[in-house]
Amino acid sequence: MSTETTVVARTGRTAPRGLKRAAHSSPRGLKPAALVATGFLLLGLTACGPTSFVITPVPAEQELREQVVLREGAWATKKIALVDVDGILRNTRERSMLTGSGENPVSLFAEKLDQAAKDDSVRAVVLRINSPGGTVTATDLMYAEVRSFRQRTGKPVVACMLDVAASGGYYLACAADRIYAHPTTVTGSIGVIMVAPEFAGTMQKLGVRANVFKSGPLKDAGSMFRELNDADRAVFQGLIDGMYAGFLEVVAAARPGIEAERLKQLADGRVYLGAEAVKLGLVDETGTLHDAIFAAKELAGLSDKAVKVVEYARPLGYRPNVYAQTDGSPAQVNLINVGLPEWLSSPSPQLMYLWAPGW
């Protein structure tokens, strides 16, 4: 049972009284240290003007919990699990403004699939993908998790692509039994990219020099402190070519109707709208999320039965319906941001299955 305490904080005398009430009420599951931290946070924010806050204590246990987001019938017992894939795919914790760290997308994804695998009443999974891709390894790990889930459970998986499911987002969709896209979905971008920033010219103008001691001529290949030479480029191009070949193998396995030469023509990095991707054979059908859910029912032999659609979330996350999104990073791929994205601010080049036209 969850307890909700509402604290209304305004400038003047009201804010301290509200904060005092919050400090004296210590609901089960919320530690005193957390209350103190919350108090300081509220004091800092209320200095900016009248603000209302809703404090919702949550259980100390953070295991994923099932939430019903769609019920087709009052007596429905069979389930379709809806699993989100949002933002940049990477095998590292996301940064949070409040806590400094967040979920690891790969770990959370695997945890949700495990939850669906253990529940016998879950008969199929719908992957709701809204991602421009991410790092090569993270993408491949998530792809392998879906393949493993299908093999060990026999439960069908349907991919439903929303705004963006490009590059690594499309790679992941290829692990599903069937792929749906909205007519306006941006998908494709089959390929690999590596961005290696270089500041050698700028450093020379500023009179700054980096002294590098290395065991071999290629040890600092890709360093932002010197220009790339032909040997550096050959090494990195070899990596890109190998990973690109792996991407083509994944797509060829998922879309056997596309001939190899035709696939290479389609996989030149360009993106396609969902309707065009269907015509090209990269996607099975255009449709809504509800169409994808019905397709999952069909594959599970439940087309004539009422089901529950469920999601898995931490206790704090509330899912009112099937369109509710997770708290993951939005798929901002061509907007102007103040700071560099984490994948671009890394000191070393990263190999990416990523559509990022803004960079």
Which residues have a catalytic role annotated? 167, 219
Q: Are 73 and 306 in contact (CB under 8 A)?
A: yes
What is the 3-state secondary structure of 282-305? CCCEECCHHHHHHHHHHHCCCCCC
**Residue type at 174 in one-letter notation:** C
- What does the radius of gyration of the chain's CA atoms come to, in whole angstroms? 24
Q: Residue 5: how many CA atoms within 13 Å on its side-chain side? A: 19
Helices (H) and strands (E) in the chain, counts: 10, 14
90 touches 328 (CB < 8 A): no
How many Å apart are CA 277 and CA 279, to the nearest integer? 5
Phi-psi region of 269 (alpha: psi -120 to 50; beta: other; left: phi over 0): left
CA–CA distance, 33 with 143 (Å, rounded to integer): 40
CB 187 within 8 A of CB 270: no
Share in percent of the chain as helix, strand, coil (round to 5): 35, 20, 45
CA 273 to chain CA centroid, Å, is 20
Tell me the β-bridge partners of 195: 350
Tokens (6 digits) for 266: 């389609």
Would strands 285-286 and 79-86 be described as parallel, antiparallel, or unpaired? unpaired
